């Protein structure tokens, strides 16, 4: 369990199988890591992911942030509360990227989620490498043989 102090209150974050699965947390984390940072899109996605991870982790330990995991409207209302908490956290001089790393590490430490997270991170890294290789190939000038076959 990870404890985060905001406005003098401790928020205990615990990443159980149900909430991680129902909130599709792992795929959101991987998706945020695959984002292209062009025009800040990647940073925006990361900020959303930080809030999502915080909300998911708070489900078993923080009553005021709990919601029906099948109700998107309730979730959005609770996310608004989390964004406010994260603003306060940041305004108190804390680093949101450090919080992200701490939550990510906590998620990776726990049983099945640890194994799944590791596998998905490896897959994400492979996809990044493949995407970079494809980009490099598309930027290379065509050889004479390739031009003749066109």
- The predicted-structure confidence for 106-136, as pLDDT tens digits, reads as follows 887 765 566 666 777 777 788 888 877 776 6
Q: What is residue 67's three-state secondary structure? A: coil
Task: Enter the pTM of the model.
Answer: 0.70
Residues 59, 62, 66, 72, CA torsion sign: negative
- The predicted-structure confidence for 17-40, as pLDDT tens digits, reads as follows 888 888 888 788 777 777 655 555
Greatest CA separation found in the chain?
70
């Amino acid at each position: 369990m990870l404890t985060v102090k905001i406005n003098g209150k401790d928020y205990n974050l615990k990443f159980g199988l149900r909430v991680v699965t129902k909130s599709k947390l792992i795929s959101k984390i991987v998706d945020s890591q695959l984002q292209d940072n062009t025009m800040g899109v990647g940073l925006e996605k990361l900020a959303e992911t930080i809030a999502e991870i915080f909300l998911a982790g708070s489900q078993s330990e923080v009553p005021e942030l709990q919601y029906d995991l099948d109700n998107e409207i309730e979730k959005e209302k609770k996310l608004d509360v989390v964004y406010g908490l994260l603003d306060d956290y940041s305004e108190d001089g804390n680093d949101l990227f450090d919080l992200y790393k701490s939550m990510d590490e906590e998620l990776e430490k726990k049983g099945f989620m640890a194994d799944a997270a590791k596998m998905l991170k490896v897959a994400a890294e492979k996809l990044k490498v493949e995407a970079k290789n494809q980009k490099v190939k598309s930027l290379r000038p065509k050889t004479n043989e390739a031009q003749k076959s066109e």
